[in-house]
Amino acid sequence: MAMGLDGNAVRSVDRAASLLLALGESQGEAGVTELARRLGLHKSTASRLLATLQRRGLVEQDAETGKYRLGLVVIRLAERAERTLDLRSLALPELERLARLTHETAGLGVLEGDQVLFVAQADGPNLIAVGDWTGRASALHANASGKVLLASLAEREVLRIVRRGLTRYTERTITDLEPLLEDLARARRRGYSTALSELETGLTAVAAPVHDARGAVIAAVEVWGPAFRLTPRRIPELAAQARETAAAISVRLGGAVA
């Protein structure tokens, strides 16, 4: 029974995706009959799927013609994807320079819901099995990039995230509100954040904020590596290098150097 339901769900998702793609290829708008014919669907099936997509804001129906077009949600998602791709392409040369300079791994993290999503990575020559984090998400409170992004949020947003519960990954992970708020305040004062064995034991990271043209924090540049190389003595130097890289990316995005 479960397998049948899973199959039906997958088929419905595939059909809904096909409808969105067909609308995207249409010249402006398309009617239910036309879409059903193009995709080989029953008209009632196409109508039901379009109604579901409309409730989610993925398609809109013209009140006069009854035809459908892509909704604002799809447009916003497309704009967001374009911004992410632009950010990645602008950041990669700077990340590669940072990785060569520090001989460590450099990455770029952005806010994705209540997590940090790594959208770009450059590996230094001293890489030791940290793996490729591109496309992976992580908890905001447990790594340097996440804390940079958290520090840019309104306190009510931080409180909301903390109330849901903070996972403890190591004995050094910050899981209580007051220590976290203190750490975020320190990050704002210094212009960078650190994570010392907070996500993984023996992993040290330093991150600095990237600003857009309005001065808002939209990403974080991070350098990370094993604690035996990223010693406390190196932190100030790495922080300065991460800040320089973040500032260079900010300038390329039209932002001002903080």
235's enclosing H/E stretch is helix 235-252
Mark whether 25 and 105 lie in a shared domain. Answer: no
Structural domain including 211 reads: 82-252
Rounded distance between C-alpha atoms, residue 30 and residue 21, angstroms = 12
Mark whether 19 and 101 lie in a shared domain. Answer: no
Residue 221 lies in a domain: yes
Residue 75 lies in a domain: no
- Residue 45 burial (CB count, 10 A): 15
pLDDT value of position 114 = 93
Which of 49, 70, 91 is the endpoint of a domain? 70
Which phi and psi (to 5°) does residue 203 adopt? -110, 125
Instruction: Provide the number of structural domains found in the chain.
Output: 2
Q: What percentage of residues in the chain have a pLDDT greater than 70?
A: 90
How much is the pTM? 0.68
Mark whether 89 and 66 lie in a shared domain. Answer: no
Q: What is the pLDDT of residues 10-41, one digit of tens each?
A: 888 889 889 998 888 876 788 999 999 989 99
Strand partners, 222: 107, 207
Q: Is the pLDDT of residue 253 over 50?
A: yes
Q: Is the pLDDT of residue 256 over 70?
A: no
CATH of the domain at 131: 3.30.450.40
Three-class DSSP category at 206: strand
DSSP strand pairing (105-112 vs 217-226) = antiparallel
pLDDT value of position 25 = 81
Strand partners, 59: 70
Mark whether 25 and 150 lie in a shared domain. Answer: no
If you write DSSP's letter for every residue of 64-90 in order, what string do you get?
TT--EEE-HHHHHHHHHHHHHHHHHHH
- Beta sheet of 217-226, edge-to-edge order: 137-139, 115-122, 105-112, 217-226, 203-211, 193-196
Mark whether 176 and 213 lie in a shared domain. Answer: yes
Which of 50, 70, 90 is the endpoint of a domain? 70
- Residue 162 burial (CB count, 10 A): 18
Of 76 and 54, the one with more pLDDT = 54
Which of 70, 96, 130 is the endpoint of a domain? 70
Mark whether 66 and 157 lie in a shared domain. Answer: no
Residue 258 lies in a domain: no
Rounded distance between C-alpha atoms, residue 74 and residue 56, angstroms = 10
Rounded distance between C-alpha atoms, residue 210 and residue 110, angstroms = 10
Residue 257 lies in a domain: no
pLDDT value of position 1 = 35
Angle at 45 between CA 41 and CA 48, to 5 degrees: 145
Rounded distance between C-alpha atoms, residue 212 and residue 220, angstroms = 12
Mark whether 26 and 147 lie in a shared domain. Answer: no
pLDDT band at 5 (very low <50, low <70, confident <90, very high): very low
Q: Is the pLDDT of residue 257 over 60?
A: no
